[in-house]
Amino acid sequence: MAIAIATMYEDVYDAIRTILVANKPTYTYNEVEYTYDILAEYHNKDAAFPQIVLNKAMININMITMDGSGQDYMIEVQMDLYAKDAHGKGAIDQALSQLMATFLSAQASLKSDNSMVTQDDFWEVSSSDVFDDKNQTLNTVSAIMRFKYK
């Protein structure tokens, strides 16, 4: 799937979501394997955890010529991970490791299929946080990936 400028937000989202759905992270807690759901927004009403919220891309355009004829498209994609606090920080850490490995191994296909090239500061993870949502306590963390559209 090629990315078009006219549909860049949708195309970037689809490209990243396709990779996520094909490579959903998992972890084991008390001999039960849990698989992350991939969602477009945080869902807490009768929600199952763990879940990954794939946010819409942030796209910045840098003009690289004085006459405006050349542009660099900088893409930033954020994923928010949520897992039950009772399952421990390892539930998030394992998912982050799996996601990082998945996207590092997908670099060639992202470049050839979508013209998305990873940047030097490609992968960034926020500090983890714990919060209460209704009757449960969750761990959360965000991972940001950065690309340039070529």
How confident is the model over 50-69, as pLDDT tens digits?
A: 999 999 999 998 877 666 66
Residue 66 confidence (pLDDT): 66
d(CA 68, CA 91): 47
User: Which pLDDT belongs to residue 63?
Assistant: 74
Verdict on whether the full-model pTM lies above 0.85: yes
Q: Given a cut of 90, is residue 43 above it in pLDDT?
A: no
> What is the CATH number for 126?
3.30.70.1700
User: Strand, coil or helix: what is 150?
Assistant: coil
The helix/strand/coil state of 9 is helix
Mean pLDDT of the chain: 93
Q: Which residues contact 61 (CB under 8 A, 6 or more apart)?
A: 71, 72, 73, 74
pLDDT at position 70, please?
A: 75
Domain boundaries, position 81: 5-149
Task: Give, as one character, the DSSP assignment of residue 126.
Answer: P
More confident residue, 45 or 143: 143
The residues, any chain, with a CB within 8 Å of residue 131's CB and separated by 6 or more, are: 137, 138, 140
Distance CA(1)–CA(23), nearest Å, equals 18
pLDDT in tens, 68-115: 667 889 999 999 999 999 999 999 999 999 999 999 999 999 999 999
**CB atoms near residue 102 (< 10 Å):** 15
| Tens-place pLDDT, residues 110-119 | 999 999 999 9
Domain count, the chain: 1
Of 150 and 99, the structure prediction assigns the larger pLDDT to 99
Residue 18 CB burial class (10 angstroms; 0-12, 13-18, ≥19): middle
Concatenated DSSP letters of 59-85:
EEEEE-STTS--EEEEEEEEEEEEEEG
